[in-house]
Amino acid sequence: MIETTITIALLLMLAAVTVGIVRVRGLFAAVVLLGVYSLLMATLFIVLDAVDVAMTEAAVGAGVSTVFFLGALYLTDTVEAPSSRGRFLPLLLALVTAGALVWGLSDLPEFGSPEQPIHKQGADYLARSIPETGIPNVVTSVLASYRSFDTLGETTVVFTAGIGILALLRRRRGEGRN
């Protein structure tokens, strides 16, 4: 009961922050609101017992990416440029995307239901983790051992992003002189 109340309160606050992000015109305020959004999201993940995801969301979403946004704002401008195009096409695109997402939601299993296929036919990692790997935190054993290929792929994605940013943004030698 109390968990449902907290979840609903957090979701309402998320909705309010989202409206704020859309409405606000100053980009500085938008970046701060995005950080607030991530922090609320992280709290919601804790309520849903997904502590690992909450930690990632708080560190990446609310922490580091806010700094990156601020760095980008410092290099560009803090006021959104007025759009010269019409508003019809973006509105249509947003409505179509939202419609597709809501349509997709109807196919999801009921929230928290133990009858989902993933709980009935999925691999029984909860039982296997301790005897096979000796790791009590099943999230870690799934990420780093059973699904190690995926995590190698994720690390490679981070690596690729890193060298991409370095290639694009790093100051080249002699750039500052001329």
Partner 1 sequence: MRFDIVLRVATKFMLAPLLLFALYVQLHGDYGPGGGFQAGVIAAAAIILYGLMVGLGPVQKIVPSALLEVLIPGGVLIYAGVGVVGMLQGGNFLDYNRLAQDAVHGQEWGVFLVEIGVFMTVSSTMIAIFYAFAGRRRS
Binding site residues, partner 1, CB under 8 A: 51-52, 54-56, 59-60, 63-64, 67-68, 71-72, 74-75, 131-137, 139-141, 143-145, 148-149, 151-152, 154-156, 158-159, 161-163, 165-166, 168-171, 176
H/E stretch holding 151: helix 148-169
H/E stretch holding 18: helix 2-23
Smaller CB separation from partner 1, 28 or 159: 159
CA nearest to 169, candidates 80, 68, 77, 64: 68
Smaller CB separation from partner 1, 74 or 103: 74
- Nearest distance, CB of residue 97 and partner 1, angstroms: 28
CA 117 vs CA 30, 36, 108, 120, 122: distances in Å: 40, 35, 11, 5, 7
Smaller CB separation from partner 1, 72 or 100: 72
Given a contact cutoff of 8 angstroms between Cβ atoms, the answer to whether 80 and 25 are in contact is yes
What gap in Å lies between CA 115 and CA 98, rounded to an integer? Answer: 28
Smaller CB separation from partner 1, 68 or 96: 68
- Nearest distance, CB of residue 144 and partner 1, angstroms: 4
- Nearest distance, CB of residue 174 and partner 1, angstroms: 14
